[in-house]
Structure 1
């Protein structure tokens, strides 16, 4: 091994499977000194398949970070990983409690209570059922690994697209792994963290305590409520561990953790205004009436990047996450060992959001959710010279509870009436006139959409999952290894959603009208048609041709005399719907088979096939008629071929993989402005290529490159969402609309051949690092990180107005290690050129057709970090 002190830190970095090598890694990487001296590139031992193996000999594609790497890179949470890991998507949307992850184009929105994640999320071997629980700060972490491709055999819950594994630092007896760390930066950023181990009984019992806190101002202004208010940081948490090793063969690890988030999140400025249609002169939308309601109108377009919003109140977003786990590892003999992991987790969240996204008092939503789960995993591991295998059992149960309400505010009724531009005013005034003339014998008109109305639902889910799994490696020859595994999963869900519509006076909710309809071609049963009939009869009464007490006249005006008559016609969000009571039973066999061939000491090629699965559920949102509230399980199949190659003389490592994946019954979820439409999309196809390399041209220079190409599209998706904004602004009908009746279109469109939302085809990452000594005792390096993200569609309907062009991000870092004091000082900047882009998603503004809002990305941030080890 090289002993040049100048070179040692960079070698340490790649010894834990540095970011840009497509390596397999699920445990602590370890150097093998003899091999490193011989090859010039480290031999890394990893546990990607639950046992120690040479990283370059494991047929799995994964990017990994050590805790030190993340600390030096000032990676705060999971969202920061996506600028470093190819084919990974991680973003936040409506609130801090809504986060989404995807790998190789396959992901899951967290916006629906009934969905499970397509990406398996694990901390210390424990499955995290709610994606939101993973967004907290990454502190005192030993390693984070991102496994790409279906994980249908070994890892906890079965998942179709990949897994993110987090392993925290264990307690130790030597007492030399403690630290304190502090970061200050712009926007008032203040982070602190620390950890320390204590030996209670030498070599037998050790404890470790970890704590962190994070505060930061927001990055978005509210024109009425103040600057830097939204998207702030307010987090804290702690973890307490005990490690008991009474013998050399037995290890028991206890972990208790607790964390809280209480943030003002998330800001969604106007991307596209509907003040006036872009292509239809004289067509005006809700932004034209907002000023009359005291609201602020934003132009959209480039003004989106002014990071300004106007809300009636600041959103509330809180989370509480806690859990207990115990891991037992027992080495039976030289061949057999057993592992058991038991865990209980509880997750609670609450949101109160101004979901009209304006400062007019129109409507808001409250979302109070909780989840508790228990999991148990038992594995038997056998290791020998030619054969290794793992057999395991897995059990998972969870209870989910959701209490959701959309409520109308003081200005909702005039907002609703303004959408008719006064067309209904004569009818209502006429009814009021008839009421006055009859001395009140005929009732006056009633408010169409009164304030204080609640559209509520309570959802409950009891979920149990059982699995039995096994995987083996067998050396067919010294160079050729066969890996194969199977997993049987049994899923059971009892699902209940109770919907209610509650008028402020407690009266029965009216259901007269099914839709507002087209004024040019009114359809019977719609509001426009009903208003036309009532108006015609009112004219006849006024002309003396009909008695005001005529039953036909009274029947025609009765809906408009009933409180809340406009809600049913407004859309799915405010319409009544049937309750859901379902029991889902499903089972699935998934697995993998791999052949790996060690061409020579420095070259390995492999081919693999794997399958993944996640269960179905119910759509807990109010959705339009024509959409099925029950969705089926999602399954995936993936082929992959890969190469792992070291060029010893050049100190160059190149790893590459090509993959082809099909997903059946992909669970697609898109917001239309009137609720989330969650449907099985039929066939979803992804093909791609990944290239990752590490090169050390000199002892003090490191170059890392990663590229991912992901070509994803719906091969068949016949009942997807339709364009909203583009059709409103241009009058052009979505070409996927297959209804032959333009006055009564289907609520869905054919999306076959379209791209999924938020998934770029191309991603490129480049890292350049130069090491040097400032003095004899101060090691230093400077690093430039560049990432390119290709263009993408932001909406599942592929609306032409819902797109994001490609963008480039640059991060800078100057690292200094004061060896005498064992202290790091890091000057850092992220997105240093303040690139402006939409954070992977936009949406049709609720109940404001033709208007788009989108979520902001992080601006330029910079600061300084101090870390003292002891």
Structure 2
């Protein structure tokens, strides 16, 4: 084992010792968490989707909810792991956390442009998190995770036009408890997590949680002969609950999270796109060794591995890494009012910082350009709401929400030495030098938003309810951007590498978006455990500004809106032994905000990509036919269609797709290889028709002893889908399935557990996302033609390991 990995293990063991050192020793007899004994049957999950605690089966929304115990059973350590368990949920990550995207019902904007915001809102303990990156962080000591599918424009508001994810951590209590969990796996993975909590005084309780998780590289880089895609995560959370009297509760939460990755997980997926520079593709084309460009490179740089990477290899000069730091704090004061309602004031601040220097375009064994990017976001929110107890003829939720954030984004693109070898004056010959030329971008955006809202439920009878809600949102954004080009002495501006951002430029902008979102619906209890519902709802995401260049036209993009119609049924049968939930929906999205690569390949721009409709069916079932066996199955079928307004998007002329040639038109995103294309009538990117998961768990006593053993497995998959916003045919990925399993033993008291686990056990190689090659126009096609490189970001290979946990 390397010294570096040994140090990681020592650090992780020290972290576990620190967690144990903080235990409430001497605070009374040890206690441990257990699932309530219901005499058998499926565990009931309590959710806060409608701002009050409710049984998930009594809420007329499409929700997938998991308790903390269920997450631990399934080996879920991040929200991203839920993607294979939740119908129509997809989570993508490329080269950094900022570029993550959450997709629900085949809709979700990528974060490749800092000026846009997600389509799916993430809420941690009721606080909106303005970026999607935290979905890859650890979720330790969790009470519930709720995935709400469909627009949540009334109770949640901005940036939830297709759904929301609620993450609720466990609250402190007077009962002392603690847990430590240690895992070791292949790729030298070491994960240590734990928590401790209990009473401090008669009316004050506290809870601490901490985690560290690290592994060495999943991939081998042929360029450096070293592993890449290393990862380190660590963080902690503190909670205090003060109850000065029986009607008042004050909660304080503070957290810190750090995530870093080292190296790239991107490979070339088109064997001809880069004109012979490198092929991340098998089998190797017959023309590979005959390329004049490659012959010239081998002659001058014989140590460069101009070879085809294998299944889990990359060939990149990119010393890329990504570092993400998040911290935040919130204070919530709740007061029980004398008329059966609760008044809550929630004040929070969150800070996010991401830094990712990448030698772009990435996945090539040449230092063509260094692209350093960083962004900082500081956000403040305050929500004042009143919620009735849900036991009256008229029940209600009403509130006033305020949000403000400040975003700073900086990027610096510098031409490196490898660019010389990519501009041949003749085939295989060096071109003019532009090394050192730079383009610098500074973007600043400030957002202020406020919204009053209400939702009312009329309990017409014990079995029939009518629901209606409204929210008025006002969002104001102001921004400025400057692009400066620096050409060092002796470099000509008109050579092969001329920054497409153009001359030095500065832009400012201001937008004011107003929206009235609504929902109405009805619920009917066919039987006490069978509820049917129908809803219509709308959603809204505010507009914004392009952050990548001061000459992108248009600088601003419009708001995105959604409209959803849904009917569903939620039911439990046979004394809670069988759960069956089903919903059918039709969702219309207008002015969808989509990220598109700029034609010259120097960045991404956001624009409104037209309108589309998604319609389909989702189901979620659980069964416990006998006490020892638990089964689950979920899935979705969704038909996606672009319906109009998408005849002005950029695409690659060299690779016409689906028989739809680009029309002869010009525009701000047009160059020698790119033009406008007509996407109307086509499908959406990241839109598999089928998404499914089946699993089971068998748990049985070991003879007559006080121990039980268990075995569990989960098989999940999806059908084919395009993984690039331009629907480039190279991005069409076939359907695939992933297998995970675990085997373990634990005492019936639940005080400890030991298990073996594995994920992606068949070692399936697949991509999470794809994109056109950045700086593609500056990469020579063997000295004769512009390049059209295409990159894919690999998902994790097979991982396996052992886990031991102990509860105090």
TM-score (norm 2): 0.87
Which of 688, 703, 713 does residue 616 from structure 2 map onto? 688
How far did 1:631 drift?
0.8
Q: Does 1:221 align with 2:220?
A: yes
Q: Which residue of the partner structure matches residue 353 of structure 1? A: 358
Q: Which residue of the partner structure matches residue 383 of structure 2? A: 377
Q: Which residue of the partner structure matches residue 196 of structure 1? A: 196
Q: Does 1:207 align with 2:135?
A: no
Which of 317, 332, 335 does residue 330 from structure 1 map onto? 335
**Contact residue 387 and residue 475 of structure 1 kept, 8 A:** yes
Q: 1:187 to 1:40 in 2, by over 3 A?
A: closer
Which of 427, 432, 439 does residue 455 from structure 1 map onto? 439
Q: Which residue of the partner structure matches residue 736 of structure 2? A: 807
Q: Which residue of the partner structure matches residue 570 of structure 2? A: 644
> Could you report, residue by residue, the CA deviation over 1:159-184 in whole angstroms, capped at 9, with x for unpaired residues?
111011111111221112x1111110
How far did 1:208 drift?
1.5
Following the alignment from structure 1 to structure 2, what is the Cα–Cα distance between the partners of residues 83 and 65? 13
Task: Note the residue ranges of structure 2 that are not aligned, 5 or more in a row.
Answer: 1-32, 277-283, 780-786
Following the alignment from structure 2 to structure 1, what is the Cα–Cα distance between the partners of residues 462 and 198? 45
Following the alignment from structure 1 to structure 2, what is the Cα–Cα distance between the partners of residues 482 and 842? 46
Q: 1:650 to 1:141 in 2, by over 3 A?
A: closer
Q: 1:658 to 1:90 in 2, by over 3 A?
A: same
Q: 1:286 to 1:119 in 2, by over 3 A?
A: farther
Q: Which residue of the partner structure matches residue 547 of structure 1? A: none
Q: Which residue of the partner structure matches residue 449 of structure 2? A: 465
Q: Which residue of the partner structure matches residue 401 of structure 1? A: 408
Where 2:634 maps in the other structure, the secondary structure is: strand
Task: Note the residue ranges of structure 1 that are not aligned, 5 or more in a row.
Answer: 1-28, 426-446, 508-561
**Contact residue 89 and residue 103 of structure 1 kept, 8 A:** yes
Where 2:676 maps in the other structure, the secondary structure is: coil
Q: 1:580 to 1:623 in 2, by over 3 A?
A: closer
Counterparts of 1:154-553 in structure 2, within 5 Å, are 154-155=155-156, 157-176=158-177, 178-202=178-202, 204-228=203-227, 230-274=228-272, 291=298, 294=301, 296=304, 303=309, 306-357=311-362, 358-383=364-389, 384-417=391-424, 421=427, 448=432, 450-505=434-489
More moved, 587-596 vs 842-851? 842-851
Following the alignment from structure 2 to structure 1, what is the Cα–Cα distance between the partners of residues 509 and 68? 44
Q: Which residue of the partner structure matches residue 513 of structure 2? A: 586
Q: Does 1:756 align with 2:684?
A: yes
> Could you report, residue by residue, the CA deviation over 1:537-566 in whole angstroms, capped at 9, with x for unpaired residues?
xxxxxxxxxxxxxxxxxxxxxxxxx62322
Q: 1:636 to 1:146 in 2, by over 3 A?
A: same
How far did 1:698 drift?
2.0
Following the alignment from structure 2 to structure 1, what is the Cα–Cα distance between the partners of residues 44 and 155? 25
Following the alignment from structure 2 to structure 1, what is the Cα–Cα distance between the partners of residues 537 and 372? 41
Following the alignment from structure 1 to structure 2, what is the Cα–Cα distance between the partners of residues 479 and 411? 71
Q: Does 1:817 align with 2:746?
A: yes
Q: Which has the higher helix share?
A: 1
Where 2:111 maps in the other structure, the secondary structure is: coil
How far did 1:746 drift?
6.8
Where 2:71 maps in the other structure, the secondary structure is: helix
Q: 1:297 to 1:759 in 2, by over 3 A?
A: farther
Q: Which residue of the partner structure matches residue 127 of structure 1? A: 128
Query: RMSD of the TM alignment (CA)?
Result: 3.0
Counterparts of 1:635-714 in structure 2, within 5 Å, are 635-648=561-574, 651-671=577-597, 673-714=601-642
**Contact residue 65 and residue 145 of structure 2 kept, 8 A:** yes
Q: 1:266 to 1:167 in 2, by over 3 A?
A: farther
Which of 837, 840, 851 does residue 789 from structure 2 map onto? 851
Q: Which has the higher strand share?
A: 2
**Contact residue 88 and residue 104 of structure 2 kept, 8 A:** yes
Following the alignment from structure 1 to structure 2, what is the Cα–Cα distance between the partners of residues 32 and 181? 22
Q: Give the count of matched residue pairs.
A: 749
How far did 1:393 drift?
0.5
**Contact residue 621 and residue 634 of structure 2 kept, 8 A:** yes
More moved, 91-100 vs 400-409? 91-100
How far did 1:813 drift?
1.0
How far did 1:285 drift?
9.7
> Could you report, residue by residue, the CA deviation over 1:286-310 in whole angstroms, capped at 9, with x for unpaired residues?
767654674857676xx5x522223
Following the alignment from structure 2 to structure 1, what is the Cα–Cα distance between the partners of residues 449 and 416? 42
How far did 1:771 drift?
1.6
How far did 1:86 drift?
1.4
Q: 1:797 to 1:353 in 2, by over 3 A?
A: same
Q: Which residue of the partner structure matches residue 631 of structure 1? A: 557
